[in-house]
Amino acid sequence: MNNTTKTINRALLNKVLNTIKINAFTLKSINLALNSIIKESTLLNKISWFTYAHKLKTWLNSAIDSDTLPFTPFTLGNEKLPFLSWSTCPGINCPGAGLCWNNGRGYCYSLKAWRYPAAFFRQLQNTILENTHFGRAIILQHLDRLQDLPKFKKLDHITLRLFVDGDFSSLENLKFWMNAIKARPKLKVYGYSKSLHFFKQLNESGYVWPENYVLNGSSGSKFENTETALYVSKLPIYRGEFKTMYVTKETLTAWKTQELKPIHTNELKQQNKKYFICPTKCGDCTKIGHACGNNEVFKNVTIVIPAH
């Protein structure tokens, strides 16, 4: 039977990730999860999935004598997102997720990345790193090394999108990243989060937020329209909401081709009086830089994007 047209099922990937989390990221649970993927990739003749799963498994079970990783932890950007970025696994790292995730059946765009084994295993590797003190030290070593690269060294600042996929998985994780950002003023960090309860908890402890971090509220959170969301919206790091809008196929097509007419714009903005329509590419969405990281000009402006 020719299985080359099939791929690894999202349901299987979601199942193994949930199993890893339930078992508190033990080495045994991760190995069992990787064995499941290796077995399935063998049956489906998916060489890349087999190779990358084996690569991560070999690293996990080897004596670690350096910060060398099987997958590059940070990505250096592309045409759509020309910034340094960090990702972890969606779902298991998104305690504030609501309709967007829905146990892997929601509209979360991160699921599309699971078509590519390298993306999935980078997310898994980074999730593992975030869950140990040693792993966090490795993250910081790689981040500092990146700042010294020739392409970044002469820049006034380096833009980092924190969590293209995934989210702050715990209060400890949030504090780790905020301290890392605060200690590296050259970084200009922005992101989207549904883990609003952690921001509230950390703020109530008297924490002083880094001036070089901008938070966008992300639609689909289970905290939407709650007291927690209102509390977080008043924090100095909070820029505004980033909303995913359900629109007609005609409006979605017009947005993708950037040929929006008033009828399409009205459908996208809906009841939002102060709004900005995301124009698909992050790097040059405005003449003064990207809107989501601008906590001055775009303060309290709702940025909208169609579900796609």
Reduced to 3 states (helix: H, G, I; strand: E, B; else coil), residue 19 is helix
pLDDT for the residue numbered 296: 94
The pTM is what?
0.93
Averaged pLDDT in 10-residue chunks for the chain of 308 residues: 69 95 96 97 96 97 86 84 91 92 83 93 98 95 94 91 97 98 97 97 98 94 95 98 92 93 91 86 82 94 89
State how far the Cα of 268 lies from the Cα of 224, in Å rounded to an integer: 19
pLDDT for the residue numbered 181: 98
pLDDT for the residue numbered 203: 98
Cα-Cα-Cα-Cα dihedral sign, residues 19, 102, 78, 286 = negative
What are the start-end ranges of the E strands in the chain?
74-75, 84-86, 158-162, 187-193, 213-218, 238-245, 275-277, 302-306
Closest to 86 measured CA to CA, from 180, 197, 171, 13:
180
Structure tokens belonging to residue 28: 């045994």
Q: Where are the domains of the chain?
A: 10-60, 71-204
Residue whose pair of structure tokens reads 């601008």 in the numeric block:
294
